[in-house]
C-alpha cells in the first residue's frame, strides 16, 4: 500500500509487527536500545524466507557463485587496509542548545530538530567526520586487543579470496556470496528497522577481469537481476527505481554506484547498493589472481550487489499491507509469508473435527510451515491469518469426515475450493514452486 493512500502506514505496520510477533524493540523490558530490534516468531520466518530466496537466486541458480560465512570480528589490520578506519565516516554536527547530534547531510533530521526549538535561533557546530565502526576489546590481559564489529560483511569475502580460489573450482569471472550481520554506530538510527546499528546484509562480490567494458556490462547485468528479484518477491514496480550516486556521496571504495530505491512513507530510500569497486579491495589486501588458462596475473575488479535483509523485510511489509473495510491483509508473496497454511476445525468443541484437523496440520507441517488455530469463530480466524499474510486456510468440516475433502480458502481472492486431503501436499507444492 502507498503512503498517499494511507498516511499512517508506517505506524500501522510498526504496531502490527509488535502485536503479531514480527518485530520487537530490543531489550524492551529495560527501555530498549536505539537502533536495535529483535525478530519474533513470525519475523524470524519472514527473514529466513527472504534469505533463502536470495541464496536460491544468487547461489543455487548459478554455476559461477559460491558462498561463505566469515567471522564477524576480524584482525583489525583488515579495517586499516580496507580504508574503513579512515574513511568509513558520516558528517556529524551538534545542536549548540541541547547537544543533540545529527547527520549533517540529513536535511529532514535537521529541519525536524530545528522545529523542536521553534522560538530560539539555533546554532550548529561545524560538521566533523564521525567513524561508524564499532570497537570491541578482546583478550583477558591488558592491553586488550582492539578490533571492530564488521561495518560491512564484504571484507570477509575479500580476505578469503585466495582461500576460495585455491579450495574450489572457481575461475574468474566468479562470485562469492554471503549473508550476515553488520554493525554501524549510526548517528541517527531510526524509521523502525530502516536504519539500525545491528543489521543483516546479503551480498555478492563478483570478480571479473580488469576491463572497463566488461565491468560496465556486468554492472548493468546485476542492476537488472537485482531489481527483478525485488519485483519477483512482490514489490510493486512503481515503488522501485534506480538512482546513480553523485560524486560526493560515493563510498570510499566505489568507482561508481547505483542504488535501488524504494518509495517508502519517509521518501525514496536506499534498498540495495550496486557498486563497481574496481581493484580497490584486493589491491589493498595485496591479493591477485593467476589465470590458469592464459597464464596472466592480474588483480580482478569487483562488481558488488549489497542488500539489507531488514530493509527487505520492512519494504515487503509496507508494500504488501492492505486494508479492505475493517480487514487488514498482508499480501505477501507465499514464498515469503511466515506461515503458508493455517488449518482449522470448523468447530473447536467437536473432538472428531479437531483430531482430523490436527492430523492434517501435523502432516503438512513436516513439509511447509503451517499453523493450527481453533480459537474464536472461522471469520475471526480468517482475519487473524490475513493480517499476518498466511496465503491459505484449510477448514475441516463435518463433510470432511465423510468424503476426506477440505475447504481451502485463498487469502487474496477469498475464493474457496474443495480438495482431497491426500492431495494437499501436491496442491501446495504446485502453488509454492
Question: Is residue 307 at the binding interface for ligand GAP, with CB under 6 A as the rule?
Answer: yes
CA distances from 81 to 92, 251, 258 (A): 24, 15, 24
Distance CA 26, CA 196 (A): 11
Binding mask 81-120 for ligand GAP (x = CB under 6 A): ----------------------------------------
Smallest gap from residue 276 Cβ to ligand GAP (A): 12
Smallest gap from residue 190 Cβ to ligand GAP (A): 10
Interface residue with ligand GAP, options 47, 184, 285, 381 (CB under 6 A): 184
Q: Interface with ligand GAP by CB under 6 A: which range of 43-51, 195-203, 210-218, 417-425?
A: 195-203
For the chain, the farthest-separated pair of C-alpha atoms sits apart, in whole angstroms, at: 79
Distance CA 201, CA 190 (A): 17
What DSSP line would sit under 57-76, residue for residue? Answer: IIIIT-SSEEE----SB--T
Residue nearest to ligand GAP (CB): 308
Q: Which three cell numbers mark 393?
A: 486456510
Interface residue with ligand GAP, options 94, 105, 261, 270 (CB under 6 A): 270
* CB burial readout 318-337, b (16+ within 10 A) else e: bbbbeeeeeebbbbbbbbbb
Smallest gap from residue 90 Cβ to ligand GAP (A): 10
Interface residue with ligand GAP, options 53, 90, 272, 386 (CB under 6 A): 272
Tell me the three state secondary structure of residue 191: coil
E strand or H helix at 297: strand 297-298
Q: Are 44 and 22 in contact (CB under 8 A)?
A: no
Smallest gap from residue 268 Cβ to ligand GAP (A): 13
Question: Is residue 306 at the binding interface for ligand GAP, with CB under 6 A as the rule?
Answer: yes
Question: Is residue 150 at the binding interface for ligand GAP, with CB under 6 A as the rule?
Answer: no
Alpha-carbon torsion, ordered 346, 349, 351, 352, to 10 deg: -40
Question: Is residue 131 at the binding interface for ligand GAP, with CB under 6 A as the rule?
Answer: no
Smallest gap from residue 35 Cβ to ligand GAP (A): 8
Smallest gap from residue 74 Cβ to ligand GAP (A): 14
Question: Is residue 152 at the binding interface for ligand GAP, with CB under 6 A as the rule?
Answer: yes
Residues 6+ apart with CB under 8 A from 349: none
Smallest gap from residue 107 Cβ to ligand GAP (A): 18
Question: Is residue 195 at the binding interface for ligand GAP, with CB under 6 A as the rule?
Answer: yes
Interacting residues toward ligand GAP by CB under 6 A: 152, 154, 184, 186, 195-196, 199, 201, 203, 270, 272-273, 304, 306-308, 310-311
Amino acid at each position: 500500500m502507498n503512503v498517499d493512500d494511507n498516511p499512517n502506514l508506517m505506524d500501522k505496520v510498526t504496531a502490527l509487527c509488535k502485536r503479531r510477533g514480527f518485530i520487537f524493540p530490543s531489550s524492551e523490558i529495560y527501555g530498549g536500545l536505539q537502533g536495535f530490534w529483535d525478530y519474533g516468531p513470525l519475523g524470524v520466518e519472514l527473514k529466513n524466507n527472504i534469505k533463502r530466496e536470495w541464496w536460491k537466486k544468487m547461489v543455487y541458480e548459478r554455476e559461477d557463485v559460491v558462498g561463505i560465512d566469515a567471522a564477524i570480528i576480524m584482525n583489525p589490520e583488515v579495517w586499516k587496509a580496507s580504508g574503513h578506519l579512515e574513511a568509513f565516516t558520516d558528517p556529524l554536527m551538534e545542536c549548540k542548545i541541547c547537544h543533540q547530534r545529527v547527520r549533517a547531510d540529513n536535511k529532514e533530521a535537521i529541519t525536524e530538530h530545528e522545529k523542536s526549538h521553534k522560538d530560539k535561533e539555533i546554532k550548529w557546530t561545524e560538521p566533523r567526520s564521525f567513524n561508524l565502526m564499532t570497537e570491541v576489546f578482546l583478550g583477558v590481559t591488558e592491553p586488550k586487543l582492539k578490533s571492530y564489529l564488521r561495518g560491512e560483511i564484504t571484507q570477509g569475502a575479500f580476505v578469503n579470496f585466495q582461500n576460495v580460489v585455491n579450495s574450489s573450482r572457481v575461475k574468474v569471472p566468479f562470485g562469492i556470496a554471503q549473508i550476515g550481520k553488520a554493525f554501524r554506530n549510526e548517528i541517527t538510527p531510526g524509521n523502525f528497522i530502516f536504519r539500525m546499528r545491528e543489521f543483516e546484509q546479503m551480498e555478492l562480490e563478483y570478480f571479473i577481469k580488469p576491463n572497463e567494458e566488461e565491468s560496465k556490462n556486468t554492472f548493468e547485468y546485476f542492476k537488472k537481476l537485482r531489481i527483478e528479484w525485488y519485483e519477483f518477491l512482490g514489490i510493486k514496480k512503481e515503488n522501485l527505481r534506480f538512482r546513480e550516486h553523485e560524486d560526493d556521496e560515493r563510498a570510499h571504495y566505489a568507482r561508481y554506484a547505483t542504488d535501488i530505491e524504494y518509495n517508502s512513507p519517509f521518501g525514496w530510500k536506499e534498498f540495495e547498493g550496486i557498486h563497481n569497486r574496481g581493484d580497490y579491495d584486493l589491491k589493498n589486501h595485496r591479493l591477485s589472481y593467476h589465470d590458469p588458462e592464459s597464464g596472466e596475473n592480474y588483480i580482478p575488479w569487483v562488481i558488488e550487489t549489497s542488500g539489507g535483509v531488514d530493509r527487505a523485510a520492512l519494504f515487503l511489509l509496507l508494500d504488501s499491507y492492505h486494508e479492505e473495510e475493517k480487514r487488514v491483509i498482508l499480501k505477501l508473496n507465499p514464498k515469503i509469508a511466515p506461515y503458508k497454511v493455517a488449518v482449522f476445525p470448523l468447530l473447536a468443541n467437536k473432538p472428531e473435527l479437531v483430531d482430523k484437523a490436527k492430523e492434517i496440520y501435523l502432516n503438512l507441517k513436516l513439509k511447509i510451515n503451517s499453523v493450527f488455530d481453533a480459537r474464536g469463530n472461522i471469520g475471526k480466524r480468517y482475519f487473524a491469518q490475513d493480517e499476518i499474510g498466511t496465503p491459505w486456510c484449510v477448514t475441516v468440516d463435518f463433510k470432511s469426515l465423510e468424503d476426506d475433502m477440505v475447504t481451502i480458502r485463498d487469502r487474496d481472492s477469498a475464493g474457496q475450493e474443495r480438495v482431497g486431503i491426500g492431495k494437499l501436499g501436491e496442491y501446495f507444492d504446485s502453488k509454492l514452486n
